[in-house]
Structure 1
Amino acid sequence: MRFSEAWLREWVNPDVDTRTLADQLTMAGLEVDAVEPAAPEFSDVLVGQVRAVEAHPNAEKLRLCRVDVGSGGPLQIICGAANVAADMKVPVAMLGARLPGDLEIKRARLRGVESLGMICAANELGLAESSEGILPLPADAPVGADLRSYLDLDDWCIALDLTPDRADCLSLAGVSREVGAINRSPVQGPLIEPVPPRNDDCFPVRLEAPEACPSYVCRVVRDIDPDAVTPLWMQERLRRSGLRSIGPVVDVTNYVLLELGQPLHGFDLDRLDGAIRVRMAMAGERLLLLNGEELALRDDTLVIADRNRPVALAGIMGGAETGVTTRTRHVLLESAFFAPRAISGRARSYGLHTDSSHRFERGVDPELQARAVERATALLLDIVGGRPGPVAGLNAEEHLPRRKRLRLRRERIGKVLGTKPADAAVEDIFTRLGIRITPASDGWDLVPPSSRFDLQLEVDLIAEIGRIQGYEQIPVTHAGAAATIRALPETAFDLDRARLALVARGYHEVITYSFVSPELQHRIDPRPETLTLSNPLSLDMSVMRTSLWPGLVQTARQNQARRQERVRIFESGLCFLRIGDKLEQNEQLAGLVVGFSAPVQWGMRVRPVDFYGTKADLEAVLGLTGNPERFRFLPAAHPALHPGQTACIEHDGRKIGMLGMLHPALAAELDIKGNAFLFEVALAELQTGPPPAFEPPSRFPAIRRDLAIVVAAEVTYDQVRECAASAASDLLQDLVLFDVYQGPEIDSGKKSLAFGLILQASSRTLTDREVDATISRVLAQIKSELGAKLRD
């Protein structure tokens, strides 16, 4: 919501400056996102009147104008705008004037004729991005007046970043009510009285979807002046609110939207056929919108239709075929209440977002429609004239929102806020907020205004007291009970240490959205049932993630698009699995690497990341549990990973995660360059480990014996290690694999593994006989269990 401070102060004018006003709004929950000047700096620009216009003697497209600026004789100014005319009031930059862009107006000669100033267009004054001619001023503009003062350009534009529950403040009326309550200032909006009809025309209306549109009000206005122009004061208020002027009818509807918060629409009455029908669209119907986009409608979309076709996307945008144009003489004004559930998400599903849909999705006052039509009619008659008909419409009372009666207990205020305001202060706050309040035995009975959809519970009313009274007024209190600090168990897995371990290995931590694209989610993790959001931020963020990989892949893609070739990232967070009717939330730790294994430098050969380097990074994290041998990496398959470079991670026989290379075909579809490796583990399985225990180092020497064995190609090193450890018993301190070979002198389907066994006893020096006996047991066991033999 963006508005002019000067416009706001016509409604409510507290004795505070702009900065204080912005701070008050922010502290009351209406966050001020920006405070900007209404116009850039310029000086010495006056209101002038063109007395005469002549052709330039030496240039076909230039005009020689005589301009009266209220002092001295008329100035001779050369102007190239096609719309300049005699008796026109215009902005004139005098000699020495400074315009936006640090432009100084100097005496000049154009094609041999002297020019003593400049007649300005709106864009030259910073009042528009572009313009087709000079800026015409109202006929009653005082000649010689300073333009900044005349247009009140020393104004400020305030932009609010509202939360979705505060739709009531998407209007000057709503913001004024808040400012008045905060400062205890009177609020006085424009007087809105019924406009008497001057004809009997009523356009028929049928509510065929009353649950979605329980209230529809319209009014016929005939014989408007199609040549009329929106007055400059209204154009300026729209501009300062972020809207451009289009034409009188559209400008009036936009003005009422900003002023009261009620979206309206104007139809060209001559283009409507039969009656207005508020109905659901029929699948396949097409509608050409005002923005030139043609939509194929779905049957879940509410539309405004006439007898033959849809003419507007209800609550979102009107149709081009029935829109008001410069030739329109008869108008049908529409003002409706659309249920938020009927509009919510529809605009985004069609790739649209409008001021109207923004308000209807959050909730518009269901008692505002007729009042908004009366206000729009009065403004329209002042600008374009015409003959209005009676206000007509239909209400399906049973489908309109009901005002909820709430009980506020006096004692409950103190318990929630920590302070007990006086009864008079409570009643004053609610009265100024438009909440009907009645004393009760233990507090008050309250009925919120129809515009306040957010007031549903007693605690909501208490929050109103806190924010209007001022949170800074609540005294600081300290807990009366002693705080107990509980130490973490020694066996608990420390996620912070895991993060630091990954950072030490060159990773960067990222935080991605829990909402992901359903298409990306299905490609990376197609098996689980996903949870779809009922009101997503966008189609690309419409399901809850079942894995951290989609967010990491998107992050890697964005980094590579910005020429970051080496990406090493990790994330810890919740994933959401839908199991039947229940939602299960699991905390996961995941990582992604792509590019080079180390930063490029002259002293090291460039080597791309690989499966084993990523596995080593993950093993460093798993080692923090204190018992890394309880984890195993077994060959596995995953739809998103390369079938030959994928491992399942097990902990005591339970699957806890996956590790592998992103499938090349999927990587190409997702624009990931190079081989990307991913891992993900469930943190719940890492939360317990063995308690720390001290073991004194052996004072006796260790002995190393190297073996080279030939085994079947499918035998894994883990199998060999476990077999050797079982045979060597407690004498084996470590087993180091230092060579894997397949090729000449090794039979097909076989491989050679060379490894060193490090043997050591804690209480004695091992003899050659003990070592030889241990090696013999190891060879015998791996031969019997794995079919291994010593390599010749």
Structure 2
Amino acid sequence: MRVPLSWLAEYVELVPGTTPEDVHAALVKVGLEEEEVHGFELQGPIVVGEVLEFVEEPQSNGKTIRWCQVRVAPEGETAADGGDAVHGIVCGARNFFAGDKVVVTLPGSVLPGPFPIAARKTYGHVSDGMIASARELGLGEDHDGILRLAELGIDAPVGSDAIELLGLNDAAVEINVTPDRGYAFSIRGVAREYAHATGAAFRDPVALSAPADASGEAFPVVIADDAPIRGRVGSSVFATRIVRGVDPSRPTPPWMVARLKLAGIRSLSLLIDITNYVMLEFGQPMHGYDLDTLVGGITVRRAREGETIETLDGKQRTLHVEDLLITDEAGPIGIAGVMGGARTEMSDATRNVLIEAANFDTVSIARAARRHKLPSEASRRFERGVDPEIAAAAASRVAQLMVDLAGGTADPVGGLIDETPAREAIALPDGYVSGLIGVEYTDAEIREALAEIGARVDEAEGGLAVTPPSWRPDLTGKAELAEEVARLVGYHRIPSVLPVAPPGRGLTRAQRLRKRTADVLAAGGGTEVLAFPFVAERDNAVFGSADGEPVASVRVANALDASRPFLRRSLLPGLIEIARRNLSRGLVDLELFELGLVFLPEAGRAYGTAVLPAAAARPSDAELAALIDGIPPQPRHVAVLFTGDVVEKQPGQPAVPAGLADALDAVRRIALATGGEIEVVQGRHQAMHPGRTAELRVGGVRIGYAGELHPTIAEEADLPRVVAVAELDLDALIVATDRTVEASPLGTHPAATQDLSLVVPIETPAAEVGAAVREGAGELLEALHLVDDYRGQGVAEGSKSLTFALRFRAADRTLTAAEASEAKLAGARLAAERFGAAIRD
């Protein structure tokens, strides 16, 4: 379940500044499993622009582009990217007109991918940004034309922030919902759990949506289940509402599209989006029928032998006699709780809608979904259990949204069949909870915890009589109630007893990988050193931050050296000091490395303030907690340093000085030792040489840097001008690495080699161009290497020529030159699409 934070905040109080990580941490406290954080991965400036004019320009390739003049800031003001208020932009779409307001991604912005936007020369113009489509913004799959704000009913000032305007500044937390907690498949359920974890006020969306008057009959419905499974009738609740005069052509509001997208559901059309929205909000699956296509009333029954239905996915399905169906007088119109039928689906021609909110038997739905291989958002919820008391309120919520957003008129009377049996109370004997959990809970704690989940708690002989709430079908016995008490009072109350480890188990995985890393670096010629962890404040300021922002440091109370009273944030100051000492003693060719802890305190927190406990007795839990809380994060890093020559001068062989390539080679050896994949991209660090610094990433997350030490820093340390260094978070690399390295089979067929020279803007990273060529060339490309980076005569100013050596090989045949050439050109085409690359003659 993905939960957008803005949506969650409507029903439970979120403290300003609450992050997705904070929400995950709170939900973990009450037993929900955290998964990922999702967002639109957009970075501004992305603004509202107005198309002033454009010129149609046919191209030699048969395509016609538009050279547009787009206002991106009010007249007389500077644009968000610091440029002029009017930008010239090349656009290939043709679905817009002069005067339209559109979404403009200005230079410096980043679209999902990531796809950075920069001013670049294309089709004979310098395109100063891009006019975006819905797919490029992550709002949908529409890529046929650009996004026109008028189609969304939006009229915003030119230059305003489009990210906020379209609701793209939101984020969603993803949690894993176990089979027994189906209520958490809703914003309502997750908001209630967040309230349990934090004590924040919970506002039930069901209580905010008043059900319609059901005294009359909105639409004739009959439940005729003559073959219930395990004695359980297929449907116990069936609520209906009718909305007339809707306009299905209206666009879905951007805020709803954004929330559905973050929740993992694609926007289809306004009417369908509304039913999906309420399903996510309440946890009640909804279905809408085109009222004018229904024949007679609705009957809920089991399928008959040989009956068929065409479902919404366009497939004809033969039904099983156990399948629970929604039918009208003309036959089946839906497999209950799984998927609706095509005959009565809502479409662009729909004007009147019948809304259905029902409750179906979990076993019937689970079997039907598996039988027809039709897992759906609805079946996922029904097979885990849906609150039977919210159907009427959910139907009213859909009706109200269709009135507000689709311009319809809701009939004042709704229909409701409710044959839900009353839940029986569960006997909870005195002392049972404490005996099962192993924690002494007071009677008040037990009562408060059960009342908090919505249960009715009554006195009974020898204990309590607990009636679970309607949304918790998983609470069927006293053991489940005891688990709820443990969960809400807090798992931290359950003591942790460390088991005695049996001998002979060896090193942990992390220990093995750390040892392997040290072995690999030593085998490559490095010398492992151990530096003191104490540094001067300036060392932490220079090496502890890449961009010069102030950083927090831990000061040692009883420093051994008054000039170095702080714990290190980086291993490099220690390596530099050791290198200087060795150079002063005549050892000029050095390859040093260290594995050690660094200390990364959080700003504004005081560490080491806890009082040391007396040694006469075991510290209390509170004393231990205070001590642990006073320790800053201490990840283990690995760092290397090269200076002098890596290959000594000898007859026939000139000396090879150390440089950035050696630091990157050490990083690759570390990656091999841990089985990880480290991405190397252009980076910047204040302690390193501009233009000769690489950022090291794993899974898109920065874990370190490699480069040549800044010449001024090297000079201050009495080191040679060129000192190559690298440092990375080894713990983060090990945590991110969870795979088995497999050797690739050797190709037995001849290889075809070709070169490819591409001219790209000078600021385009060669690695990204190479990645595009590799992706476009496909599986026939066995190897790709950058062999030349040329800038000069024959290449336009502001551009560079990148030459790649390509090796192609097929596993099952000898490639022809034509096949290799086609694969190469496919790679060139993708590079041209992404970066405007042109093949150099």
Indicate the TM-score class for this superposition, using the shorter chain for normalisation: 0.5 to 0.7
Counterpart for residue 158 of structure 1? 173
Out of 128, 145, 153, which is 1:116 matched to? 128
Q: Distance in 1 between matches of 2:69 and 2:204?
A: 43
Counterpart for residue 95 of structure 2? 83
**Where do residues 308-323 of structure 1 align in structure 2 (5 Å cutoff)?**
308-323=330-345
Is structure 2 residue 78 aligned with structure 1 residue 46? no
Counterpart for residue 207 of structure 1? 223
Counterpart for residue 174 of structure 1? 189
- Alpha carbons 1:197, 1:388 under 8 Å: kept: no
**Where do residues 584-623 of structure 1 align in structure 2 (5 Å cutoff)?**
none
Is structure 2 residue 307 aligned with structure 1 residue 292? no
Q: Distance in 2 between matches of 1:318 and 1:278?
A: 13
For residue 54 of structure 1, report the CA deviation from its aligned partner.
4.0
Out of 321, 338, 342, which is 2:364 matched to? 342
For residue 474 of structure 1, report the CA deviation from its aligned partner.
2.0
Counterpart for residue 419 of structure 1? 439
For residue 114 of structure 1, report the CA deviation from its aligned partner.
5.4
User: What's the secondary structure of 1:356's corresponding residue?
Assistant: helix
**Where do residues 690-729 of structure 1 align in structure 2 (5 Å cutoff)?**
none
Q: Distance in 2 between matches of 1:271 and 1:25?
A: 45
Counterpart for residue 8 of structure 1? 8
- CA 296–392 in structure 1, closer or farther in 2 if over 3 Å, else same: same
Percent of matched pairs sharing the same residue: 36
- Alpha carbons 1:58, 1:112 under 8 Å: kept: no
Equivalent position amino acid for 1:460 in 2: E
- Alpha carbons 1:47, 1:92 under 8 Å: kept: yes
Q: Distance in 2 between matches of 1:396 and 1:147?
A: 46
For residue 412 of structure 1, report the CA deviation from its aligned partner.
1.6
User: What's the secondary structure of 2:242's corresponding residue?
Assistant: strand
Is structure 2 residue 33 aligned with structure 1 residue 35? no
Q: Distance in 2 between matches of 1:424 and 1:411?
A: 13
Q: Distance in 1 between matches of 2:450 and 2:157?
A: 45
Counterpart for residue 429 of structure 1? 449
Instruction: Find the structure with the greater CA-based Rg.
Output: 1
Q: Distance in 2 between matches of 1:387 and 1:195?
A: 16
Is structure 2 residue 20 aligned with structure 1 residue 18? yes
For residue 181 of structure 1, report the CA deviation from its aligned partner.
1.0
Is structure 2 residue 374 aligned with structure 1 residue 352? yes
* Structure 2 gaps, min length 5: 79-84, 227-232, 503-841
Pairwise CA RMSD: 3.0
User: What's the secondary structure of 1:453's corresponding residue?
Assistant: coil
- CA 56–82 in structure 1, closer or farther in 2 if over 3 Å, else same: closer
Counterpart for residue 402 of structure 1? 422
- CA 148–228 in structure 1, closer or farther in 2 if over 3 Å, else same: closer
Counterpart for residue 244 of structure 1? 266
Q: Distance in 2 between matches of 1:341 and 1:466?
A: 29
- CA 143–429 in structure 1, closer or farther in 2 if over 3 Å, else same: farther
- CA 379–65 in structure 1, closer or farther in 2 if over 3 Å, else same: farther
Q: Distance in 2 between matches of 1:273 and 1:381?
A: 25
- CA 147–158 in structure 1, closer or farther in 2 if over 3 Å, else same: same
Is structure 2 residue 408 aligned with structure 1 residue 386? yes
- Alpha carbons 1:207, 1:394 under 8 Å: kept: no
For residue 86 of structure 1, report the CA deviation from its aligned partner.
4.6
Deviations 1:31-54 (A, max 9, x none): 22x22231124332122234x444
Deviations 1:742-761 (A, max 9, x none): xxxxxxxxxxxxxxxxxxxx
For residue 382 of structure 1, report the CA deviation from its aligned partner.
1.1
Deviations 1:348-391 (A, max 9, x none): 11121111111111111111110100111111111101121144
Deviations 1:154-182 (A, max 9, x none): 44322222221111111111111111012
Q: Distance in 2 between matches of 1:267 and 1:458?
A: 42
**Where do residues 124-273 of structure 1 align in structure 2 (5 Å cutoff)?**
124-128=136-140, 131-137=143-149, 139-190=154-205, 192-194=208-210, 202-209=218-225, 211-273=233-295
User: What's the secondary structure of 1:47's corresponding residue?
Assistant: strand
Is structure 2 residue 448 aligned with structure 1 residue 446? no
- CA 103–244 in structure 1, closer or farther in 2 if over 3 Å, else same: closer
- Alpha carbons 1:197, 1:389 under 8 Å: kept: no
User: What's the secondary structure of 2:256's corresponding residue?
Assistant: helix
User: What's the secondary structure of 2:10's corresponding residue?
Assistant: helix
Q: Distance in 2 between matches of 1:251 and 1:102?
A: 28
Counterpart for residue 397 of structure 2? 375
Equivalent position amino acid for 2:378 in 1: S
- Alpha carbons 2:69, 2:86 under 8 Å: kept: no
Is structure 2 residue 478 aligned with structure 1 residue 462? no
For residue 230 of structure 1, report the CA deviation from its aligned partner.
0.6
Equivalent position amino acid for 2:222 in 1: R
Q: Distance in 1 between matches of 2:197 and 2:254?
A: 32
- Alpha carbons 1:268, 1:323 under 8 Å: kept: yes
- CA 445–76 in structure 1, closer or farther in 2 if over 3 Å, else same: same
User: What's the secondary structure of 1:304's corresponding residue?
Assistant: strand
- Alpha carbons 2:140, 2:267 under 8 Å: kept: no
Deviations 1:631-680 (A, max 9, x none): xxxxxxxxxxxxxxxxxxxxxxxxxxxxxxxxxxxxxxxxxxxxxxxxxx
Equivalent position amino acid for 2:254 in 1: L
User: What's the secondary structure of 2:465's corresponding residue?
Assistant: strand
Q: Distance in 1 between matches of 2:332 and 2:495?
A: 58
Taking structure 1 as the reference length, what is the TM-score of the superposition? 0.56
Equivalent position amino acid for 2:105 in 1: A
For residue 394 of structure 1, report the CA deviation from its aligned partner.
4.5
